[in-house]
Each structure stands twice: as structure tokens, then as C-alpha cells.
Amino acid sequence: MRVLLLSKACIVGIYQRKLEEIARLGVELRAVVPPYWKDERGLLPLERAHTEGYELVVETMALNGHFHLHFYPRLARQIQAFHPEVVHLDEEPYNLATFHGMVLARRAGCRTLWFSWQNLLRRYPPPFSLFERYCLRHADAAIAGSQTAARVWRAKGYTGPLAVIPQFGVDPDHFAPPPHRETDRPFTVGFAGRLVEEKGADLLLEAVAGMPGVRVEILGSGPMRPILEKQAAAPALSGRVAFLGTLPSPRMPEFYHRLDVLVLPSRSRPNWIEQFGRVLVEAMACGVPVVGSTCGEIPHVVGDAGLTFPEGDVEALRACLERLRTDAALRAELARRGRERVLAHYTHAHIAAQTVEVYRSL
């Protein structure tokens, strides 16, 4: 079976591990990616980390950085050269890249599917509403990253086969607990993600300001960094917050291994709620207890393997952190549960197998 996968997300090296697992299951896979992607964090270059068993092809992207309007001008050549049976468009169905890919794939007689994280029932103006209508009517299958997203597309009228599969998992051999954890350091709480308002790093700093002796490490970039740095310079936090910038994706376990707890304090906005919270499963795989807000999918990802608090509630977040700081047995139990939850639900191998079943159904 030949599958052409179009995915800007697969510029991230650790995500390519899923592609190797798909190929290992007997799929002749060609993945088309751009050389980089631009967003509020800046320019994110292609990482080549896991490239065995399949083709990773770099294609020029037009309108790079425009989430809704980017596309690949030479995609038709890839379809004509590779002759895929299935074209997997790893993009939202209201985007130009998905519409463009669907038209080209159907013209070539390929089966098609798209992927969506969209978990809000939103209405789009033309031309995006027209892209969406076409993709909903003509796709042979679709994948939603969560049950909430699946409900959105059923409410919008999609009636075809719809699988619920997260976009990516983790490699449990790479994201694994360290042989030994340092014991002669302060209790350390981590945040990893985009430094934007909806991700809530400011709420974490506010909570830790009332916890003397606790250290915070913030990994990521984005427009809120100057605001967060000013907040961290206040007397209550001075000297206890480190801004680490970004790391290549294969080095993320180094960050998690330094933590006692990872926090994802996301807050809902009219145009966004947390779609998954990938850093949660990465930390859980590394044996790090997690604390997440009740925003979007976070409680479903965490399950009984971590603590949750009402989104925006700084006092409740501080109480969760204090509970973990003072209860080593609870930290150990949540670390165990988290690792087991990842192995049961969120490995690349598990997600690849589910994805290949969708391909085979076509």
C-alpha cells in the first residue's frame, strides 16, 4: 500500500518516529514536509531525527506561516511521481492546503483523508467555509485528535468514517525515566510550550510566588516572554525562575529529567481551548508527575495519572503543587501511573497501528 502524507507537523524530529512505525507495518510511505514553518515562536526548521524505512521529501511551501492559506505548489508532481493509493492530508479541512491536496488527489484517483484537532464549533467565512464544505463532502475518511473534535465534525455534517486518534505519540524508549534523579536541588516545577496567553505560564508564576524555595523552569518561546520575565523579576520570585528558550525536540527528555512536576495551566479563550497537551504525555513517559488545568482535553489526557485544577484558579494550582512537594509517595505513584498510561495509549507504535488500520479500510 502506497501512502502520501502531507504534514508540516512532521518537521519536528520526534514526530517522525510515528512515520517509521507506519512504514514498519508494511506501508510504502512518502512524507512531504516544508523546509521550515513560521509561527509566533519564529522560524522552526526541519529536524531530521527519524528517517528510516520511508521517504521524507522536502517541498517548497507557499504562504509559509499563514495557518489557513499555506499550500504546496508542486504537490501535483509528487502525486504523479509516487502514484499513491491513499493521500493523507495532515491538516484541518478548512485550510487551503487540505482543499488543494484533496482536489489533486481525487483527480489522480487516490483515496483521501484529513486530520483535525478543531474542538470548537466555529463557522468560517468564504473561502474557508467553501474549502471545508468540499473536504467534508469528498473525503473518504477522516481522523480527529479527540472525541471533542469528532463531535464538532459530526455537528458540521461530516458523515463519513471518522476515527479518533491523537496526531502523534511518544517513543517510550527515548522518553523514559532517568536512571537516577538528583536529590540535592530545590523542588523544581516546569512549563513547556508556546509563551502565549492561553497557555497560562503567568498563572504558574503567580502560584509559585506564594511557595518560597520552589524553582520554576520555563521552556519555550513566544510573544509573552518579556511579560513573563518582568513577572519573574518581582521580589517574590527573584532568582527562582529560569527561562531556557527552546530545545531541539530530541533533547526534550533532558528538560523533563530535571523536574519534580510539569504543569500545563492552559486557559480557554473564545477562539481556542486546549486540544491535547502533548507535553503532558512526554512528561508522563519520563516518569514526571503532571498537573493540568481543566481546559479542553487536559483532564482526558491525564486521567487518574495526575492532578487537575479549575482553569484560572491560582490558589487551586498552588494547592496541587504544595501537595506534591510535601508527599513523595504521591509523586512516585503518579509517576508510575503516568508511565503506564502512556504505554497503554500514547506510544507512536500504538498510534501508527491505529492510523494504518484507517489506511487499510480505504
Please report, for the chain, the start and end positions of each structural domain, with discontinuous segments joined by +.
2-169+347-361, 188-345
Q: Do domains 2-169+347-361 and 188-345 have the same CATH topology?
A: yes
Looking at residue 311, its pLDDT comes to 97
| Architecture of the CATH domain 188-345 | 3-Layer(aba) Sandwich (3.40)
pTM: 0.93
Neighbours of 42 (CB within 10 A): 11
Instruction: Please report the pLDDT score of residue 176 as a whole number.
Output: 98
Res 40: pLDDT: 82
Question: Which CATH number among 3.30.300.170, 3.40.640.10, 3.40.50.2000, 3.20.140.10 corresponds to the domain 2-169+347-361?
Answer: 3.40.50.2000
| Structure confidence at residue 179 (pLDDT) | 85
Catalogue the E-assigned strands of 280-351: 290-293, 307-309
Closest alpha carbon to 59 in 136, 5, 123, 119: 5
Torsion of CA 120, 95, 249, 348, to 10 degrees: 70
pLDDT along the chain (362 residues), means of 10: 98 97 98 95 93 98 97 98 98 98 98 97 96 98 97 98 97 94 87 97 98 97 97 97 96 97 97 96 98 97 97 98 98 98 97 98 96
- Strands (E) across 133-251 are located at 141-144, 162-164, 188-192, 215-219, 241-243
